[in-house]
Amino acid sequence: MRIDWDVPITMDDGVVLRADIFRPVEPGEYATIMSMGPYAKGLSFQEGYPGNWNRMIEAYPEIAEGTTNKYQNWELVDPEKWVPDGYVCVRIDSRGAGRSHGHLDPFSPRETKDFYECIEWAATQEWSNGRIGLLGISYYAINQWQVAGLRPPHLAAICVWEGSADYYREMSRHGGILCEFLGSWFQRQVVRVQHGTGERGPRSPVTGELAAGPETLSEEELAANRINPGQDILDRPLDGDYYRDRSPDFSKITVPLLSSGNWGGQGLHPRGNLEGYLAVPSEQKWLEMHGDTHFSPFYTDHGIALQKRFFGHFLRDEDTGWTQQPPVELQVRHPGEKFVQRSENEWPLRRTRWTKYYLDPDGQALGTTPSSGADLSYETTGDGLTFLTPPLTDELEITGPVAAHLTLSSDTTDADVFLALRVFDPDGEEVTFIGSNDPSVPVGLGWLRASHRKLDTQRSLPHRPWHSHDEIWPLEPGVPVELDVEIWPTCIVVPAGYRIGLTVRGRDYENEGVMLPGAMYPMKGTGPFLHGNAQDRPAAIFGGVNTLHFTGGVAPYLLLPVIPG
């Protein structure tokens, strides 16, 4: 390869961003795979995230084969697996991060405009064929949605790999409840490589240059040159311009799209991939859903082959067989981390049998017949209530969006409802799965703050309620209200003899957890997507007793997308 380090790209306001460009030695015009983000292009995957790297290579040795691994970077393609096939790989440190100057403001309109300008800059370089493709995981996927909405003329295709979209509903406030992820993520992964960290930060193992330098600024100077997203979302409990400015306009995305999501990404990743696939008006769009960790499927031979078939078709007019790619490709999940690939024509699946499983207070059962009975109360600081089906007589597939309808009251003026869709084996042990950000996640999770129960009737569907989050409807203590709760889409084939469970709680789902070497946060079933901020959830309001009601209205139910055998 020929590698050009720290290539300057000047923005319209004079700020200079820096890019590393990996390209074939032979002169020519090549297709370009581009990414832009805040994790520092000079920080190696192995040094920055050693625990994740070691676990990935142990599980999939093929990832480290056929490459020296010198240029591995968190959540980005390995140039040594792309440049030999005639691609240029461009990595750009976003404004205020790594070796790029400027004010650090992730997902902002300014950063999106920078991405637009970088795409157009790359398309005019002598090594470019004028067609730019975007590829990367998570952050490097989320900002693809945003910049594609600006319609850069030379953007030819995007592969959004596990990328959320709605800054309010998916990244900041689940069901209106503040998620602590953004604040902790920013400090843990972004601030440590803010531009100006300099000598206090890491060095590139290849060039020896400071990954977040070259200058070293004081802590006060660094703090003044960045936003505080944790505080920003705490200060803004309702949806509005701040969140919309950091969310894409799906209606303006017409570029060819491959949306690739993770069933186990509850808390950040699957919802945006599915909502985006449905909403974009592009005539050329595909959906792929898988399981496993956040990064392994991206780097495996299977993942790279899928990506190259897509980009080979749209960036180089190659006959890669992509014209035969089904609109929807699902890795259908079974217990024991077994996945069966299946092609479909649409999402949600047209043959879905939307089935109501009613909550029965007698024995805390789930059944297909409405039930009534005595109300059930639970301490919001405890384990809540779990409703179970009888052991299944036949295998049952659940694939698609999930929702629940509850009638609930609180002994205070508000209530946070946490739902967990679960599976239990014949011995009564919960079956969990490898998730994108936690190794033992349940089948599905949902959240709703009762005072945010107002629905947008134009956007709501029976299987996907849409809350407007534009005003507060306080509760009257002891007075029941009806709640429609979105549980994020999922997929599981439940064997005969197993049980399906729905847990209703007043705090985050939690299991015994798994200890992982080098983990960045506790692993107890929800990863970093926790909701324990005392300012957002004061104990005087959210630390009391909630009651589920079973009389006087619609029987509470869980709506499941059952797929016929």
Q: What is the pLDDT of residue 258?
A: 98
Q: What are phi and psi of 63, to 5 degrees?
A: -65, -35
- Within a domain: 277: no
248-256: average pLDDT = 98
The alpha carbon of residue 34 and the mean position of all alpha carbons in its chain are separated, in whole angstroms, by 20
pLDDT, tens digit (0-9, with 9 covering 90-100), for 188-229 = 999 999 999 999 999 999 999 999 999 999 999 999 999 999
pLDDT, tens digit (0-9, with 9 covering 90-100), for 267-326 = 999 999 999 999 999 999 999 999 999 999 999 999 999 999 999 999 999 999 999 999
Q: What is the pLDDT of residue 82?
A: 98
Q: What is the pLDDT of residue 346?
A: 98
Co-location of 368 and 234 in the same domain: no
- Within a domain: 260: no
Q: How many CA atoms lie within 13 A of 439 on its CB side?
A: 17
Pairing of strands 285-290, 328-334: parallel
Co-location of 389 and 249 in the same domain: no
Give residue 1's pLDDT band: very low, low, confident or very high (50, 70, 90): very high
pLDDT, tens digit (0-9, with 9 covering 90-100), for 404-441 = 999 999 999 999 999 999 999 999 999 999 999 999 99
- Provide CB contacts within 8 A for 94, sequence distance 6+: 17, 36, 37, 38, 100, 106, 111, 114, 115
Q: Are 37 and 136 in contact (CB under 8 A)?
A: yes
Q: Are 401 and 556 in contact (CB under 8 A)?
A: no
Co-location of 244 and 366 in the same domain: no
358-366: average pLDDT = 96
Q: What CA–CA distances, in Å, run from 312 to 102, 309, 433?
A: 35, 5, 33
Which SS3 state, helix, strand or coil, does residue 177 take?
Answer: strand
- Within a domain: 332: no
Residue 552 confidence (pLDDT) above 80: no
Closest by CA to 536, choosing from 452, 468, 478, 438, is 452
Give residue 553's pLDDT band: very low, low, confident or very high (50, 70, 90): confident
Give residue 334's pLDDT band: very low, low, confident or very high (50, 70, 90): very high
CA distance 242 to 34: 27
Which SS3 state, helix, strand or coil, does residue 289 take?
Answer: strand
Domain boundary pick from 207, 222, 254:
254
- Within a domain: 473: yes
CA distance 85 to 312: 10
Co-location of 191 and 78 in the same domain: yes
CA distance 360 to 351: 28
Q: Are 125 and 158 in contact (CB under 8 A)?
A: no
Give residue 518's pLDDT band: very low, low, confident or very high (50, 70, 90): confident
Identify the burial level of 319 via C-beta atoms within 10 angstroms of its C-beta, where 0-12 means exposed, 13-18 middle and 19 or more buried.
exposed
Co-location of 129 and 14 in the same domain: yes
Q: What is the pLDDT of residue 372?
A: 85
Q: What CA–CA distances, in Å, run from 541 to 377, 407, 486?
A: 16, 18, 23
3-state DSSP helix/strand/coil percent for the chain, to nearest 5? 25, 30, 45
Q: What is the pLDDT of residue 100?
A: 98
Domain boundary pick from 221, 238, 254:
254
Closest by CA to 83, choosing from 99, 64, 67, 65, is 67
96-125: average pLDDT = 98
Co-location of 249 and 394 in the same domain: no
- Within a domain: 314: no
For residue 301, the tally of other CB atoms under 10 A from its CB is: 13
Give residue 521's pLDDT band: very low, low, confident or very high (50, 70, 90): confident
Co-location of 48 and 185 in the same domain: yes
- Give the percent of the chain with pLDDT over 70: 100
Co-location of 410 and 519 in the same domain: yes
Residue 515 confidence (pLDDT) above 90: no
- Within a domain: 297: no
Co-location of 33 and 164 in the same domain: yes
Co-location of 141 and 249 in the same domain: yes
Q: Are 536 and 542 in contact (CB under 8 A)?
A: no
Give residue 514's pLDDT band: very low, low, confident or very high (50, 70, 90): confident
Please state the domain count of the chain. Answer: 2
- Within a domain: 27: yes
Domain boundary pick from 203, 219, 254:
254
pLDDT, tens digit (0-9, with 9 covering 90-100), for 179-189 = 999 999 999 99
Identify the burial level of 40 via C-beta atoms within 10 angstroms of its C-beta, where 0-12 means exposed, 13-18 middle and 19 or more buried.
buried
CA distance 184 to 357: 37
Q: For residue 398, give both structure tokens.
A: 């659940």
CA distance 200 to 354: 55
DSSP-assigned beta bridge partners for residue 87: 31
- Provide CB contacts within 8 A for 336, sequence distance 6+: none
Residue 522 confidence (pLDDT) above 90: no
Residue 565 confidence (pLDDT) above 90: no
- Give the percent of the chain with pLDDT over 90: 96
CA distance 162 to 41: 20
CA distance 46 to 104: 25
Give residue 64's pLDDT band: very low, low, confident or very high (50, 70, 90): very high
Identify the burial level of 205 via C-beta atoms within 10 angstroms of its C-beta, where 0-12 means exposed, 13-18 middle and 19 or more buried.
middle
For residue 261, the tally of other CB atoms under 10 A from its CB is: 27
Q: For residue 92, give both structure tokens.
A: 């750009």
- Identify the CATH number of the domain in which residue 118 sits: 3.40.50
One-letter identity of residue 312: G
Pairing of strands 155-161, 557-563: unpaired
Closest by CA to 46, choosing from 160, 202, 193, is 202
- Identify the CATH number of the domain in which residue 375 sits: 2.60.120.260
Closest by CA to 19, choosing from 127, 130, 131, 137, is 127
Which SS3 state, helix, strand or coil, does residue 422 take?
Answer: strand
| Average model confidence (pLDDT) across the chain | 97
Q: What is the pLDDT of residue 19?
A: 98
Pairing of strands 338-344, 396-410: unpaired
CA distance 212 to 191: 10
Q: What is the pLDDT of residue 516?
A: 85
Q: Are 75 and 136 in contact (CB under 8 A)?
A: yes
Domain that holds residue 492: 353-563
Co-location of 396 and 247 in the same domain: no
Q: How many CA atoms lie within 13 A of 220 on its CB side?
A: 0
- Within a domain: 417: yes
Co-location of 357 and 234 in the same domain: no
Residue 485 confidence (pLDDT) above 80: yes
